[in-house]
């Protein structure tokens, strides 16, 4: 929300009575005043509806890059100070979402999915059941909730779209997308953090006809549906791109990268992207008119260039060494950083060419986020490291072992207000990163 716009609206609406009376006598001034007020209100509405927000998967741009200052740049031998941990989340791999004075996440208890609302000290405020969750292979909640305008949006593995009040955990609306839009869960269930686009919330159903849907985020009513490529979902958390003024939803289904016009659901373009298991679990990265998509099983990444009008894409380069499965990749200073799956190393690629600059096998494979030029690398073996990428190598500054929690080390860490939130199975841990 733009504070300058609010200030201007406030100043206009609180003009002294004498000044308002004078303006009434001046028709041209009155027209000017009406124009200013209308413009200000439009700008306010547009700015609010399109504001960037952190309370979603991998931060403001869904790119895993956080923007905190005043953090410690080397950890004590025992690691950053643990402020608290909450140990009853059940099964799941979802991240924390910090929204005002609450921490939101999800977990599965006895095959039922719950959204949890914690306070900033890790105390449970409420928990809300939203439906059956995935109890088959790799059981647990995988779709991190999205929080916007005091509402929580969550997608279940079986196709329930749910909106929850952040204040008290009450369900505001829910849609069974199996019934409404012929949703088709793939091999490991539907996995997707809902995407907010203006008044809409976006879900990928995997239905043959109504493949992607835009619902009114206030009441769940359908705004548009898109045929997409008519494929099953591929565990991808979609990205909203603003390219030369055009809003494009970019996501991946079984065998394709999709560009969808955000206002209408029109398919602008598709591009082939396949791997062995049709798993494309990383959010695309967008920068300077180009889109990078990467997935595992040796398939690696491709760089696509958008046309000026956003209606077509062309391939720029491919790289198979960095075949990140689900741990995300970050872009810093013209380089891509992430870990491979078949090639179990952390790697640095040149954004422009896709050429491998260097790699390290010191950490294995895992999740990558970044803040203030440093990488936070969380391996699937439970090692968590603070890493400085140089021109020629990864310099491991600090490393600890994550012992709290259970099951797989797959959740993506989150940094907010100098605190790092790390999920490991049933446990959420809050670490202080504040410099003394």
Whether this prediction's pTM lies above 0.85 is answered by yes
69-101 pLDDT, tens digit per residue, is 999 999 999 999 999 999 999 999 999 999 999
In the prediction, which pLDDT does 364 show? Answer: 86
257-297 pLDDT, tens digit per residue, is 999 999 999 999 999 999 999 999 999 999 999 999 999 99
Strand 65-66 relative to strand 300-306: parallel, antiparallel, unpaired? Answer: unpaired
In the prediction, which pLDDT does 36 show? Answer: 41
**Is 294 in contact with 301 (CB distance < 8 Å)?**
yes
Quick one: DSSP state of residue 296? T
* E-strand stretches of 188-273: 195-197, 200-204, 212-216, 222-226, 239-243, 246-253, 256-261, 267-272
Is the confidence at residue 47, as pLDDT, over 90?
A: no
For a pLDDT cut of 90, what percent of the chain falls above it? 88
Nearest-angstrom CA–CA distance, 237 and 98: 18
**Is 306 in contact with 290 (CB distance < 8 Å)?**
yes
Nearest-angstrom CA–CA distance, 281 and 269: 20
Calculate Rg over the CA atoms of the chain: 23
User: Which of the two residues, 7 and 141, has the higher pLDDT score?
Assistant: 141
416-433 pLDDT, tens digit per residue, is 999 999 999 999 999 999
Is the confidence at residue 24, as pLDDT, over 50?
A: no
365-379 pLDDT, tens digit per residue, is 999 999 999 999 999
**424: nearest Cα among 113, 155, 87, 173:** 87
3-state secondary structure 300-363: EEEEEEECCCCCCEEEEEEECCCCCCCCCCEEECCEEEEECCCCCCEEEEECCCCCEEEEECCC
Is the confidence at residue 170, as pLDDT, over 50?
A: yes
In the prediction, which pLDDT does 129 show? Answer: 98
Inter-helix orientation angle 27-49/3-13, to 10°: 150
Is the confidence at residue 115, as pLDDT, over 70?
A: yes
* 49: confidence class by pLDDT, cuts 50, 70, 90: very low
SS3 content of the chain, % helix, strand, coil (to 5): 10, 45, 45
Per-position b or e across 318-350, b if 16+ CB within 10 A of its CB:
ebebbbbbbbbbbbbeebbbbbbbebbbbbbbe
356-409 pLDDT, tens digit per residue, is 999 999 998 999 999 999 999 999 999 999 999 999 999 999 999 999 999 999
Which phi and psi angles does 305 have, rounded to 5°? -110, 125
Is the confidence at residue 3, as pLDDT, over 80?
A: no
In the prediction, which pLDDT does 52 show? Answer: 75
Nearest-angstrom CA–CA distance, 381 and 327: 13
Nearest-angstrom CA–CA distance, 423 and 363: 19
Per-position b or e across 234-271, b if 16+ CB within 10 A of its CB:
bbbbbbbbebeebbbbbbbbbbbbbbbbbbebebbbbb
In the prediction, which pLDDT does 436 show? Answer: 77
Is the confidence at residue 41, as pLDDT, over 90?
A: no
In the prediction, which pLDDT does 6 show? Answer: 39
User: Which of the two residues, 41 and 425, has the higher pLDDT score?
Assistant: 425
């Amino acid at each position: 929300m733009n504070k300058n716009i609010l200030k201007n609206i406030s100043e206009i609406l609180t003009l002294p009575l004498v000044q308002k009376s004078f303006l009434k006598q001046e028709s041209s001034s009155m027209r000017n005043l009406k124009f200013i007020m209308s413009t200000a209100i439009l700008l306010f509405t547009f700015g609010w509806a399109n504001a960037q927000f952190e309370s979603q998967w991998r931060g403001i741009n869904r790119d895993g890059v956080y923007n905190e200052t005043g953090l410690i740049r080397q950890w004590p031998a025992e690691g950053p100070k643990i402020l608290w941990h909450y140990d009853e989340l059940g099964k799941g791999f979802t991240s924390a979402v910090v929204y005002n004075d609450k921490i939101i996440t999800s977990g599965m208890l006895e095959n039922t999915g719950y959204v949890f609302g914690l306070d900033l000290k890790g105390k449970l405020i409420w928990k809300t059941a939203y439906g059956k969750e995935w109890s088959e292979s790799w059981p647990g909640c995988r779709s991190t909730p999205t929080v916007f305008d005091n509402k929580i949006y969550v997608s279940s593995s079986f196709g329930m779209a749910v909106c929850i009040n952040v204040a008290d955990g009450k369900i505001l609306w829910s849609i069974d997308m199996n019934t409404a839009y012929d949703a088709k869960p793939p091999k490991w269930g539907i996995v997707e953090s809902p995407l907010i686009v203006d008044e809409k919330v976006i879900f990928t159903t995997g239905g043959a006809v109504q493949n992607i849907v835009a619902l009114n985020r206030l009441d769940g009513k359908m705004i548009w549906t898109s045929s997409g490529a008519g494929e099953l979902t591929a565990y991808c958390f979609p990205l909203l791109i603003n390219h030369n003024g055009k809003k494009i939803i970019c996501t991946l289904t079984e065998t394709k990268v999709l560009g969808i016009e955000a206002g209408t659901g029109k398919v602008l373009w598709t591009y082939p992207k396949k791997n062995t298991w049709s798993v494309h679990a990383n959010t695309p990265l967008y920068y300077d008119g180009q889109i990078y998509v990467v997935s595992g099983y040796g398939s690696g990444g491709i760089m696509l260039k958008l046309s000026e009008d956003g209606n077509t894409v062309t391939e720029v380069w491919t790289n198979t060494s960095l075949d990140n499965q689900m741990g995300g990749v970050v872009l810093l200073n013209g380089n891509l950083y992430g870990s491979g799956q078949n090639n179990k190393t952390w790697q640095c690629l040149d954004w422009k060419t896709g050429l491998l600059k260097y790699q390290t096998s010191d950490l294995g494979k895992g999740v990558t986020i970044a803040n203030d030029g440093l990488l936070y690398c969380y391996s699937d073996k439970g090692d968590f490291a603070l890493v400085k990428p140089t021109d020629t190598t990864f310099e491991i500054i600090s490393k600890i072992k994550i012992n709290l929690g259970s099951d797989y080390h797959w959740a993506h860490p989150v940094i907010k207000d100098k605190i790092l939130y790390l999920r490991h199975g049933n446990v959420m841990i809050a670490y202080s990163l504040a410099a003394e």
